[in-house]
Amino acid sequence: MPESPPVEGIRRFEGETALVTGSTRGIGEEIAKRFAREGANVVVTGRTRADGEETVAAIDAAGGTATFVRADMRDPDDIAALVEATAEKYGGLDVLVNNAGVETNTAADEATMDDWAFVVETDFRSYWLCAKHAREHMDEGSIVNVSSNHARLTMPAMFPYNAVKAGIDGMTRSMALDFGPDVRVNTVNPGWVAIGRTMEELDEEYRDHLESIHPVGRIGTPEDIAGVVSFLASSDAAFVTGASLVADGGRTVVMQDDSLPDYRKRREDGED
């Protein structure tokens, strides 16, 4: 799988502060590292201190600036304290990336009230509360909500995850109106991304199949998503707000898989 190109000399967030929720691993970790490489002071947060401190250590070792603040996104008091700690530590807040998320793999007729609360409070309510508190510390700024391509197309037994992801797109539009003109708010909708949790569930044959049905010839990387997030948060996207940008290698343009060429083979043949 081709790696995303390294970022050399791009410092779009020099001296700014970025708070990234759910940033102790996976996509969130790479988003935090990307902002640090581009000059931001980064607040890493999650429930597991050891993982968070490991992410901070990696950022520090690469020459970046980061700190870890433990917070549970299901706890409104933790969220308020997290934002306050960020503003106090670095004197303000310029970028919020709402990324923390969970899923239950339940169908709409199987999900329980506990399933509903677990996903809605983590993936949806926390986005609103983080943004609400962050707005108080932003003179100008940007909020990026990480959703999913499940907001548009989905699969069985993904409820209420898919419903919440669609809701995030709507919340982004509301925030763009209510927080403008000083704060821009956008959504990134990732598709298949190669993170540890996802890859552990796939055998090699199915992974090859997935790559073959993506028009770009591969599934995504956390770095791919981090690049999209940093773009939307930066001044390069100064005229973009209320948008939902799908970053899924073209999967949402596919109507019927059995009509597709093998894009992975095309890529391999081209490399030969």
Please state whether beta strands 17-20 and 183-190 pair in parallel, antiparallel, or not at all (unpaired).
Answer: unpaired
Q: Supply the Cα-derived Rg of the chain in whole angstroms.
A: 18
Reading the block at residue 37, the tokens are 């490489």
**Choosing from 90, 127, 161, 263, which is the catalytic residue?**
161
Strands across the sheet with 65-70, in order? 65-70, 41-46, 17-20, 95-98, 141-146, 183-190, 244-247
Reading the block at residue 90, the tokens are 């670095």
Q: Count the residues in the chain.
A: 272
Helix axes 26-37, 222-233, angle to 10 degrees: 50
* Residues in CB range of 248: below 8 A, 6 or more apart: 149, 189, 190, 191, 192, 214, 220
Reading the block at residue 21, the tokens are 């929720």
Is residue 161 annotated as part of the catalytic site, yes or no?
A: yes
SS (H, E, C) 72-96: CCCCHHHHHHHHHHHHHHHCCCCEE
Write the CA distances from 28 to 45, 184, 260, integer angstroms: 9, 20, 32
Residues labelled catalytic: 161
